[in-house]
Amino acid sequence: MERLCGPELPFWVANQTLHTDRPDLPECFQLSVLSWLPCIYLWAVCPVYLLYLKRNNRGYIMMSIMNRFKTVFGLLLWIVCWTDLFYTFHELRQGHSQPPIYFVTPLVLGMTMLLATFLIQFERLRGVQSSGVLFIFWFLSVLCAIVPFRSKILQASSQSEVTDKLRFTTFYFYFGLVVCELILCCFNEKPPLFSNVVTDPNPCPETTAGFLSTITFWWFTRLAIKGYKMPLEVKDLWSLNQRDSSKMMVPKLLKEWEKEQSKDKSEHTLSSQAVYSKPPPSTTNHIGGGGGGESSPEEVEVLLSSQKAAPRQPSFLRALIKAFGPYFLIGSAYKLLQDVITFVNPQLLRMLISFTKQKGVPDWWGYALAFLMFFTAFLQTLILHQHFQYCFVTGMNVRTALIGAIYRKALVITNSAKRSSTVGEVVNLMSVDAQRFMDLTTFLNMLWSAPLQIMLALYFLWQNLGPSVMAGVAVMILLIPFNAVIAMKTRAYQVEQMQYKDSRIKLMNEILNGIKVLKLYAWENSFKEKVLAIRQKELNVLRKTAYLGALSTMAWTSAPFLVALTTFAVYVTVDENNILDAEKAFVSLSLFNILRFPLNMLPQVISSIVQASVSLKRIQGFLSHDELDPNSVDRKNTASEYSVTVVNGKFTWGKEDPPVLHNINVMAPQGSLLAVVGHVGCGKSSLISALLGEMEKLEGEVSIRGSVAYVPQQAWIQNATLRDNILFGKPYNEQKYRCVLEACALTPDLQVLPGGDMTEIGEKGINLSGGQRQRVSLARALYSDADVYLLDDPLSAVDAHVSKHIFDNLIGPEGALKGKTRILVTHGISFLPQVDNIVVMVDGRVSEMGSYQELLRQNGAFAEFLRNYALEDIIEEDEATEELIQDEELFPDDALSNHTDMVDNEPVFNEAKRNFIRQISIISADGENPRSRSVRRHGCSQRKHAEPQEKKKPQEVEKLIQAETTETGRVKTKVYLEYAKAVGPLLSVLICCLYGCQSAAAIGANIWLSQWTNDASRNQTKENVHMRVGVYAALGIAQGVLLLINCLLCRAYSMLRAAKLTHHNMLQGVLRAPQAFFESTPTGRLLNRFSKDVDAIDSHIPENIDIWMRTFWYTLNVLLICSALTPMFLIVIAPLMVFYWWVQVNRKRVC
């Protein structure tokens, strides 16, 4: 530095800097280090930052007044810096030679200011509203300029006049401009043009928050204040960030998972390829081979590869890492920085203790050390919470993506896969297993951070205590195999527990789905016993896990103390000259306290990793199931004149199952009505499923031209209004909607429903009859305006007169679907004369196909079908006619006019059919003489009420499914008391006392250690060594024993007792609830209570109570001891306690 600054400007002067009451840095140090530090930072990060901006274009920001000021200030800074440079050249020409530092520093500063100005404009063009890079640069510039600012004032005050007036003036111009740039950097630019933020009515302020607002979470303040004023509701929350939405997260994960699967398939294909080899040419001239050897054929032999690689499963973990790893690594970088800063405080503590021992040192040393300790703690807090923010967001994104991927997979897995993956397993995968990953990501960085902190702590302990620290290392090494065995056993128990949980949720799903039958037969108690039996097995596994967890917690919690005990004991006994004074003891103790957190967290992280590994295997297994082939049905066939074509089709429900449909050949022309008939179990519904692509296609070709609408046998109804069920996301068209209602015979039903078409329909259509559900399903299909309609016996659930109305007005030749291709599965023979073609199914094969007349003349399977069903149809119609004659006077005229006699209105009732039915009637074996003329029912046979329908008054529509209520604000005391009651009042008090005794033992060990260090000042170190070590060990052992008893009593007994009682009461309450409760409560809500919430009671609540109790008692003991030893401590702690209490109360209001 002497070459740069010259001999007159020394780089460092200790007496001027440290050993004085008015410290100041030399001018050379100010011109070099302080001036270059911000410049080095900006030039170092600039290439990476420019690359980032080039790849991430958020839009274009119009130049604002603030941006103009930033640019002008940047250019002025460049001018100011180079003014100093040109002034130095001017001095050189005048014969006043200056050191090179006066040339280099202005040049570097000027170029850096130009770079900063360029970045200001480039960021605007790339849509950056607030720059963290430039904020740090301006902050460092101001921070480094504060020392010269003070130094120049001190020099000016000590001299009569300023010697270098130009540089003095330019510096203060420079300082003022840099401060202005820093202030302007604290504010945001306007959002980029055409960005989502502009169009979103309630955007999340995090997306537009500035750098300073982001690192301090100031953008959240507005919501916190609103929550303080009133309880927050869902409508008060901001819109979800686009990058965190399931729309972005789920495809991101599925893309990486598909890459893994395709990579696995390609490797599997390469490993199973055939190897071609040709034998070497013969070495003899004999035609048939020579030397008596075996003849070798000339043709090429095909040999299968003998080197079969082990089957490699696609790694779902690798897909997760690729999808979410880069974002998570940002949080890991923050964690690494925080870990390094953590070890600064012990070194500052060492310096502070040394400062108190020294005499005649300047007072500002102590103030500076205290300020540095506060600043490092503050900086550590900022960085740590940024790390947690990235971890929490990553966990939320992983959970969102997992739930979306599992839900998507559940819709496309094959039927054989559905047998192995039950409903209970799928529910647990989406609720419990996905939550495991979210919980793990919070502390996943501890997997590498804990060993790093342990190694750094041991390194500094080695510097402090020497080789004695190896005794502590030996203790930690001994704990590793102990905890490894516990982790392996815990993983096995976790797998077993999840199997019981799947079985329990599966049974609960079956109970909730069939709750009406269960209540009608009074089977509540028997099914309750079945659930409780599975629950007891689950609790037994949880108890075993709790035993292992108690041992692991005791081992890792006692580890810091055991390390300290062995280290101190070895240190004072190995050499008589080793004295444990205050500096060594308390610096070591601060390092041991740092060591305490990673050692305490390791068992929790290991437990979470074990649980997540089990969940990972379960999720990977589920996502690896075979999917239905989307290309099994060709939907792009435009060349054929047929809308639906099946050629030589062979289908099965599972690849390992025998085929269900054989040699299927079906062709349906555009706009035709094709009926599929046959006996029960002959494969009619399977044919519809094959056309939908829900069956495994073994042979043949299937093609459907255009869009498809499907009406199943059992209608699928959403929990929504009747109108929403029909529209199904389509835009509302009044005229079209009314025509659909009329065609599906729903208009009379609207007069019965309390809210008309705005009546809320319960889950699975629980407040509709079977016929109404089927008509809503038909109406939905009709409103969708598809090209092909697959109707799986939709008329079986409706009455005869409604059936006729629907056929005439919807399905039939003159119905609303005329011109559309319709495939109708039916058992009703009365409509068959009006269809275009009939397919007769027998034992999974197409027996006959043709028109009604053709099939009747063939006298084959179709005739047999008519022979079986015709008499039943006639008898049912006669009974309906008699019932109608009895009830006809009970119906109003307008109701009867809607559905007149089918025989009277039917334009052409096929005479051949009449004759055929008459012949069947004569030769029937029962000897009865049924009437040859069948009359259709006019009304619904279930309609027994005698009073005529009156026009109902409009009623206020009540919401059937009640919204789930959530408590706001703080948790009520009653909840805590209920949980304590479930645990047991005496047990709760005993557990609290044990936590207090454990914390008191830990504090007592620290107090005893402080007394031990006082022996050095009284020269009593040799006499009291064994007593000091013995009492210190006794206190530590007492702490470990109390912790073990507490964990066993708390987790293995009392908490599981509370979990068992809570689940039992909830199960009993649900099973004893009236039927109306199940009509107004969705099944998914109840399943969540029994899956995710029960898991929280089993696992999360005990862990949180343990953490809270330990923190509470430790804090209380520290406050009491500090207040007793230093009463002045109360002056500071009292207002701080009030402040933190206020923050906690407001946080509960917001949450």
- Predicted local confidence at residue 278, as pLDDT: 44
Q: Is the pLDDT of residue 889 over 60?
A: no
Q: E strands within 501-652? A: 642-652
- Predicted local confidence at residue 286, as pLDDT: 40
- Predicted local confidence at residue 294, as pLDDT: 41
- Predicted local confidence at residue 912, as pLDDT: 43
Reported as a pLDDT band with limits 50, 70 and 90, residue 47 is very high
| Rounded-to-integer distance, Cα 1000 and Cα 1117, Å | 7
Which residue stretches of 1072-1100 are H helix?
1075-1080, 1083-1088, 1094-1095
Maximum mean pLDDT: which of 748-752, 827-831, 945-949: 748-752
- Predicted local confidence at residue 539, as pLDDT: 92
302 phi and psi angles, rounded to 5 deg: -105, 115
The helix (run of H) or strand (run of E) holding residue 412 is helix 363-412
How many of the other CB atoms lie within 10 Å of CB of 615? 22
- Predicted local confidence at residue 133, as pLDDT: 92
- Predicted local confidence at residue 564, as pLDDT: 80
Q: Are 152 and 168 in contact (CB under 8 A)?
A: yes
| Rounded-to-integer distance, Cα 493 and Cα 611, Å | 10
Average pLDDT of the residues in 27-33: 86
Reported as a pLDDT band with limits 50, 70 and 90, residue 138 is very high
How does 646-680 read in b/e, with b if 16+ C-beta sit within 10 Å? beebbbbbbeeeebbbbebebbbebebbbbbbbbe
User: Residues 654-711: pLDDT tens digits?
Assistant: 888 888 998 889 988 888 999 998 888 888 899 999 999 888 888 888 999 888 999 9
Average pLDDT of the residues in 812-823: 89
∠ Cα 796 800 802 (to 5°): 90
Counting residues of the chain whose pLDDT is more than 90, the rounded percentage is 22
How many of the other CB atoms lie within 10 Å of CB of 1093? 15
Better pLDDT: 651 or 767? 651
User: Residues 905-945: pLDDT tens digits?
Assistant: 343 334 444 444 444 443 333 333 333 333 333 333 333 33
- Predicted local confidence at residue 1015, as pLDDT: 66
Reported as a pLDDT band with limits 50, 70 and 90, residue 1051 is confident
- Which of 522, 483, 518 is closest to 610 using CA atoms? 483
- Predicted local confidence at residue 194, as pLDDT: 67
| 498, amino acid identity | M
Q: Is the pLDDT of residue 168 over 80?
A: yes
| Rounded-to-integer distance, Cα 1141 and Cα 968, Å | 18
Maximum mean pLDDT: which of 297-301, 410-414, 560-564, 1137-1141: 410-414
- Which of 484, 460, 483, 482 is closest to 472 using CA atoms? 460
Mean pLDDT computed over every residue of the chain: 80
Average pLDDT of the residues in 1053-1075: 90
Reported as a pLDDT band with limits 50, 70 and 90, residue 321 is very high
The helix (run of H) or strand (run of E) holding residue 711 is strand 708-711
User: Residues 254-273: pLDDT tens digits?
Assistant: 999 998 888 877 766 655 55
Q: Is the pLDDT of residue 902 over 80?
A: no
Average pLDDT of the residues in 357-374: 85
| Rounded-to-integer distance, Cα 436 and Cα 608, Å | 7
Structure tokens at 183: 């202030």
- Predicted local confidence at residue 824, as pLDDT: 92
Better pLDDT: 72 or 513? 72
- Predicted local confidence at residue 332, as pLDDT: 94
DSSP symbol at 721: B
User: Residues 339-362: pLDDT tens digits?
Assistant: 999 888 888 888 888 888 777 788
Picking from 290-304, 368-382, 437-451, which range would have the lowest pLDDT averaged per residue? 290-304
| Rounded-to-integer distance, Cα 1021 and Cα 576, Å | 9
Structure tokens at 963: 């919204």
- Predicted local confidence at residue 181, as pLDDT: 93
Average pLDDT of the residues in 511-535: 90
Better pLDDT: 856 or 343? 343
- Predicted local confidence at residue 116, as pLDDT: 94
Average pLDDT of the residues in 868-885: 52
Reported as a pLDDT band with limits 50, 70 and 90, residue 1150 is low
- Which of 789, 769, 552, 566 is closest to 675 using CA atoms? 789
- Which of 827, 715, 839, 686 is closest to 775 using CA atoms? 715
Maximum mean pLDDT: which of 35-44, 273-282, 459-468, 580-589: 35-44
How many of the other CB atoms lie within 10 Å of CB of 1055? 26
| Rounded-to-integer distance, Cα 152 and Cα 744, Å | 92
User: Residues 190-229: pLDDT tens digits?
Assistant: 878 766 655 677 888 888 888 888 888 888 888 888 877 7
| Rounded-to-integer distance, Cα 649 and Cα 667, Å | 12
Own/partner pairs for 117-122, CB < 8 Å, 24+ apart?
117/71, 117/74, 117/75, 117/78, 119/46, 119/49, 120/67, 120/70, 120/71, 120/74, 121/71, 122/50, 122/53
Better pLDDT: 147 or 584? 147
Reported as a pLDDT band with limits 50, 70 and 90, residue 303 is very low
Better pLDDT: 1027 or 969? 1027
The 3-state DSSP class for residue 677 equals strand
Reported as a pLDDT band with limits 50, 70 and 90, residue 896 is very low
| Rounded-to-integer distance, Cα 782 and Cα 793, Å | 16
Structure tokens at 778: 């038909």
Picking from 226-230, 308-312, 535-539, 690-694, which range would have the lowest pLDDT averaged per residue? 308-312
